[in-house]
Every structure is written in C-alpha cells, then in structure tokens.
Amino acid sequence: MRRHTSVETKYHEERDAFLKGLRGLDRRAFLKVSLAAAAAAAASGVRFHPHSFQTVSVAGAATSKVEPFTFAYISDAHLYRRELNDRFVRQLLRAVDDVNGLDPAPDFVLFGGDLAQLGAPEELDLGAQILKSVKPPVHMMVGEHDWYLDLGDKWRALFGQETYSFDHKGVHFVVLQSVVEKDFWTARGMTPEERMHTVAGLDNGIQSRFEVGEPQREWLKQDLGKLPVDTPVVVFSHSPLYKYYRPWNFWTEDAEQVQAILKRFAHVTVIHGHTHQMLTNRIGNIHFHGMLSTAWPWPYAPEGLPKLTIQMNRPDPFNPNDGLGTGTVDVQANGMVDAVYNLWNRNPIQVSATYVSSNGTQNPPAPATLTSY
C-alpha cells in the first residue's frame, strides 16, 4: 500500500536521517549528508556551484618574492547543538563542499571564528568534526562565540593556540585573538553561561569592547620585528581591526595601536570575520576585508560604514541562504589581495587591491545582480 506522508513528516524524517548521518561522520556518512545538503539547496532553487565561497588572492610586485596563490575562507558558522538547529550545520557542510570543489584547490582555508554559537563543547566538537572534511589545510581563528563559556579551554584543546603566525610563499600571516574583553563578570557574580550569553548579545551595554590587548600587541611587535619592511603581511582577526559601530561591537578598542604596529610595512591586509557582511575599508596603507558568514547576514550598522564598502543587497527574507557564502582571496605578486565574495545565490563580487589602493577610483566591483527585497 502506498504510504502518504505530509510535508512536515517528510521533513522530520529527512532531518532525522541527516542528524543520524552526522553522528558518525566518517567519510561515507559525510558524503551522504553533504549530498543531502546539496540536494536541499537544488530543490529550493538555489544555484549550487563550486564557487560559493570567498576567494582572496595575494599578488606581488616585480621585486617581490611572493609567488601568487589563492586561499579560501569559511567563517561564522555559529553551530548550535545539533538537536536545536540543523540549518546552520547544513550551511557549514555546503561551505565545506564548495571549498573542496575548488579547482585548482586553494593552498589553505582560513576559518574566521564563531564556529560555535554558545561556546558549548558539543558545538565545538561538531564543528571540528565537520571541518575535518576540508581537504586543504585549515588554519583556525577564534571568535567571541567560541570563547566565553570556558575562556578558551575547549577551543585550545581542539585547535591549539589562538595567537600564532606562519609564512606561506613569501607572505607572513598572523592570526590574532581580537575578542579579548575586560572582566565584567566576576564583580557581578555571573556564571560561565551568563557570561557567554552576555557576550553573545549584540546590543549589550554590560560587556566591554573587544580588544587585542597589551600582551598580544607585544607579541605582535616581536613577531613582526624580525621582518624586513617589504615583507607582505596578512593579518587575520575576528573583529574588524578598526572602529565601525560600537554598540554592536563591530569595533576593536585598541585598533589604532595595532594599526601603528602594522604601519611600517608597505603591504598589509587585514581580513576579519564577525560582521557577517561585505565590508571594505582602507586606513593609511592597510586594506581591510570583511568575510561572509555561513549562518546569517547582519544588516549594515546605522552609522560608521567605511566609504569603500560595496554593500551587498539586503538579503531576501524568504531565502535562508541569501546573504551567505564563503570566499577566496587571490594573493598578488606584491602581497596585496583581491577578495572575492562568493554569495550563494548571486554572482561572485570581486573587491580588488587596485580598487582599495586607488580609493575606489579604479576597477570598481561589478554591482550586485539581484535587486533588494
């Protein structure tokens, strides 16, 4: 006899199968859930292509020792425990598929922070498990949503130190923990959960502003101190290393002090997460690019938007994947980068080094292809 099921029942059955598949997440199970996520995207009319991530390319000048290359990023997945929300899990799987589908493969993938939503060990474990399926090497960065339940214990156990640097094809890369907050919890007698929930709130007057802080600034000075001034430097930070909008912590309190440390280098780019939107800035010779989220897009703040920003359209509220994606970064021979925003159901948008260094007069990005809703 033919079995009739309602849309809701079908959905719950698929969801159960999907979550069951995640439990083991060996290679075969991963492929199964990835394919399920892709099929869901296709069924919803969303264009699925292997470029749904942002790329950043690093390029070099004639005298530079940089061999141009590309890396990719995935950022701000905000995973809840799987019983609470599987949508963000699907979206992260989609991003992993996109990056794995890149041809040629990127040299590495940066994860831009906020892997978890409330810093819970189950959330971080789930994220670590999914990111194991990324084929290129992954460099991890921490976000405030990963940190404020246990102040980094679980994150460090999974991924190692949060502040570090590495060299790749002539470029010096630095990864910072830029979401340090002053202790607002002890005097208030807050539990770790209360502390985490406070930091996770967007418009929250209790918490302090993010900062890199003096110990890390000293480390940065030491780390960069040995480098000649013509070494291209790319800094990864979770919060923007400038001041955009204070009430939402789209802000780093000691940004100017960090910029001062970077100032002596001729080719410096900062790539950050946290703001969940296309964002471009230039301060002195430092270029800044914000990364897309795989979870949700934030609206633009009511003031403080950097003028070089090419705004993405207001996402379609009926399409949960709109305004999301990943990216690639093309590193040029002079060490500066072209950032490509691979929005999931729109054409990719490239924000080039030339556009930023010419203050917007040359090589402007192609306008977005779909109207706002």
Beta carbon of residue 297, minimum distance to Fe ion (angstroms, whole number): 10
249-251-253-256 Cα dihedral, nearest 10 degrees:
180
Segment 90 to 119, residues that bind Fe ion, using CB under 5 A:
114
The residue range among 70-78, 182-190, 255-263, 335-343 that interacts with Fe ion, by the rule CB under 5 A, is 70-78
Cα–Cα distances in angstroms (integers) from residue 314 to residues 7, 13, 282, 340, in the given order: 29, 33, 23, 18
Burial (Cβ within 10 Å: 0-12, 13-18, ≥19) of residue 245: middle
Amino acid in position 9: T
According to DSSP, the β-strands at 250-251 and 171-175 are unpaired
Among 272, 274, 287, 289, binds Fe ion (CB under 5 A): 274
**Does 181 participate in binding Fe ion (rule CB under 5 A)?**
no
Positive or negative, the CA dihedral 106, 110, 112, 115 is positive
Residue 240 lies near Fe ion (rule: CB under 5 A): no
Q: Which is nearer to Fe ion, 144 or 330 (CB)?
A: 144
> Least distance (Å) from Fe ion to the CB of residue 195?
15
User: Which spans in 161-235 are helix H?
Assistant: 192-200, 214-225
H or E element in which residue 269 lies: strand 268-272
Quote the CA–CA distance of 231 and 208 in Å, as a whole number: 34
User: Considering beta carbons, is residue 33 or 115 the nearer one to Fe ion?
Assistant: 115
| Helix/strand/coil percent split, the chain, to 5 | 30, 20, 50
- Least Å distance, CB 252 to Fe ion, is 12
Contact region with Fe ion (CB under 5 A), list: 74-82, 201-209, 213-221, 318-326: 74-82
State which residue, 143 or 297, has the beta carbon closest to Fe ion.
143
**Distance separating alpha carbons of residues 170 and 67, to the nearest angstrom:** 7
Q: Nearer to Fe ion by C-beta: 33 or 79? A: 79
76 binds Fe ion (CB under 5 A): yes
CB 273 within 8 A of CB 291: yes
If the CB atoms of residues 277 and 281 are measured against Fe ion, the closer one turns out to be 277
* Shortest distance in whole angstroms from residue 345 CB to Fe ion: 21
Each residue 119-158 as x (binds Fe ion by CB under 5 A) or -, in order, gives ------------------------xx--------------
**Nearest distance, CB of residue 273 and Fe ion, angstroms:** 6
Chain positions contacting Fe ion, by CB under 5 A: 76, 114, 143-144, 274
